[in-house]
Amino acid sequence: MATSKEMKRFYNAQITGVGMYLPEKVLDNHYFESILDTNDEWIVTRTGIKERRKEEKGPTSYMAIKAAEDLLKSKNMSAEEIDVIIVATVTPDMFFPATACIVQNKLGAKNAWGFDLSAACSGYLFALKTGASLIESGAYKKVLIIGADKMSTIVDYTDRNTCLLFGDAASALLLEPTEDLNYGFKDALLHCDGSGADYLYMLGGGSLNPPTHETVDQNMHTLFQDGKTVFKEAVKGMADISVDIMKKNDLKSDDIAYLVPHQANLRIIDATANIMGIPKEKAMVNIHKYGNTTAATIPLCLTEYYRDGKLKKGDNLILAAFGAGYTWGSIYLTWSLD
Ligand code: COA
């Protein structure tokens, strides 16, 4: 495979805008103590999560639109300027039309085309790479990548193994071209391995098990996770891919300002940072506030850290994720927003 330096490119895709939406309703660990046999101490020590949000006003598109509006407002930009909208999600409003179409219409992005992308917790990285390629080809100038998931609609609130891990949120980034190849997207390593399908899935609702009274009775419309197996694979997957992209691009730990990890479990994040040889403080973390918001975790971290003034132009970032599929990957980019 060619290194990023060997690849000829006229443009890099760079992130030029950020946006986010968080539902108002907070479910803290004490709420779960009141409905399940669990406790705050177990949840915090095993996962790092203290709170997560629950959307009560609308479907996934509602959150996605709010995040996009936040981005457009902060850039003082019209929705009509957007060329492409990609929505990474496993909780689309419906199978079809795509949530991206609902967003396009309600946002007033009348010059945009778009589509949904399904790769679970790696969805945002897959969408970013896809969007960056559309920019780097020279074909498009403004690509909006939204990560939005309303996980509260597919978790079983009687299952203590899963329901308290997840939350609802949306976040968006805008990609635009830059001719200054010192900034923006430098490299990506993405993978999937469908043999992992047995360990993290939702069986019902699709063509395999179309919805019937039976699928509802058998609780097939909520997610299942073999937590222990996925945990081991996630540590290995996220750490290995992050080390691989560092090696491929001659990056030492000191060269990296932040690891931007998918937020599934604080222990997975710490282990990844450790294996990469970077201090814990260099791993972006907001899992304590929002839990695992699936496709929204990575843009949410970037948006919050940027708005808090912790992310500076020129910072080298390694984004890394692991999720259902299995899917996993890493992206190396240099932050370009002042
Ligand atoms: N409260 C209290 N006890 C709980 C509990 C809860 N909410 N959930 C599980 N337990 C119990 C289990 O029943 C088990 O009890 P036992 O030893 O008597 O059988 C014990 O705690 C340990 O369970 P285990 O599943 O081994 O915990 P764990 O340390 O693996 O943590 C997860 C569970 C789900 C937090 C962890 O496995 C995980 O984060 N997995 C990967 C998530 C991930 O990355 N997903 C991919 C992206 S979505």
Q: Are residues 123 and 214 in the same domain?
A: no
- Tokens, residue 107: 């946002």
The answer, yes or no, to whether residue 9 has pLDDT greater than 90, is no
Last residue of a domain, one of 178, 196, 218: 178
Structure tokens at 51: 């709170």
159 & 222 share domain:
no
Q: Is residue 226 part of a domain?
A: yes
Q: Is residue 255 included in any domain, yes or no?
A: yes
**Domain identity same for 162 and 212:** no
Looking at the structure of the chain, the number of domains it has is 2
Instruction: Verify whether residue 221 is a known catalytic residue.
Output: no
Q: Does 237 lie in the same domain as 170?
A: no
Q: How far is the CA of 39 from the centre of ligand 1 (A)?
A: 13
Q: How far is the CA of 122 from the centre of ligand 1 (A)?
A: 21
Residues 29-54: tens digit of each pLDDT: 999 999 999 999 999 999 999 999 99
Helices (H), 108-167: 123-136
Q: List phi, psi (to 5°) of 280.
A: -55, -35
Note if 12 is an active site residue: no
Q: How far is the CA of 319 from the centre of ligand 1 (A)?
A: 25
Q: Residues 126-165: pLDDT tens digits? A: 999 999 999 999 999 999 999 999 999 999 999 999 999 9
Q: Is 1 part of any domain?
A: no
Query: What is the pLDDT, as a whole number, of residue 39?
Result: 97
Domain-located, residue 227: yes
Range of the domain at 232: 184-334
Which among 161, 225, 266 is the best mutation to test ligand 1's pocket, defined by most ligand atoms within 8 Å of the CB?
161
Same domain, 138 and 55: yes
Using CA atoms, how far apart are residues 136 and 176, in angstroms rounded to an integer?
9
CA angle, 102 as apex, 97 and 103 as ends, to 5°? 140
**Same domain, residue pair 173 and 235:** no
Mutate to test the pocket of ligand 1, among 31, 32, 40, 46 (most ligand atoms within 8 A of CB): 46
Q: H/E element holding 276?
A: helix 266-276
Question: What mean pLDDT is reported for the chain?
Answer: 96
In a domain? residue 4: no
Mean pLDDT of 233-261: 96
Same domain, residue pair 190 and 173: no
Residue 4 has pLDDT above 70, yes or no: no
Residue 163 bears catalytic tag: no
Domain match, 213 and 310 both: yes
In a domain, 3, yes or no: no
Residue pLDDT, tens place only, 61-87: 999 999 999 999 999 999 999 999 999
Q: What is the pLDDT of residue 10?
A: 82
Q: What is the CATH number of the domain that holds 140?
A: 3.40.47.10
Evaluate whether residue 7 is within a structural domain. no
Active-site position among 101, 121, 192, 301: 121
Instruction: Indicate whether 211 and 269 sit together in one domain.
Output: yes
Which residues form the pocket of ligand 1, taking CB atoms under 6 Å from any ligand atom? Answer: 38, 42-43, 46-47, 121, 160-161, 164, 227-228, 230-231, 234, 264-265, 268, 292, 322-323
279 pLDDT more than 60: yes
Residue 6 is assigned to a structural domain of this protein: no
Task: Report pLDDT digits (tens) over 203-218.
Answer: 999 999 999 999 999 9
| Exposed e or buried b per residue across 88-125, where buried means at least 16 C-beta atoms within 10 angstroms of its C-beta | bbbbbbeeeebbbbbbbeebebeebebebbbbbbbbbb
Query: Percentage of the chain with pLDDT > 70?
Result: 97
Final residue in a domain of this structure, among 178, 208, 225: 178
Confidence of residue 5 (pLDDT cuts 50, 70, 90): low
Please report, rounded to a whole number, the percentage of residues in the chain having pLDDT higher than 90: 97
Measured in Å, residue 240 CA sits from the centre of ligand 1 at 23
- Euclidean distance between CA atoms 249 and 263, whole angstroms: 24
Whether 23 and 110 map to the same domain: the answer is: yes
Q: Is the pLDDT of residue 8 over 70?
A: no
* Selected catalytic residue, list 12, 29, 265, 292: 292
pLDDT, mean of residues 225-239:
95
Does 198 share its domain with 170?
no
Claim to verify: residue 90 and residue 141 sit in the same structural domain: yes
d(CA 284, CA 307): 13
User: How remote is the CA of residue 212 from the centroid of ligand 1, in Å?
Assistant: 30
Domain termination residue (choose one: 132, 161, 178): 178
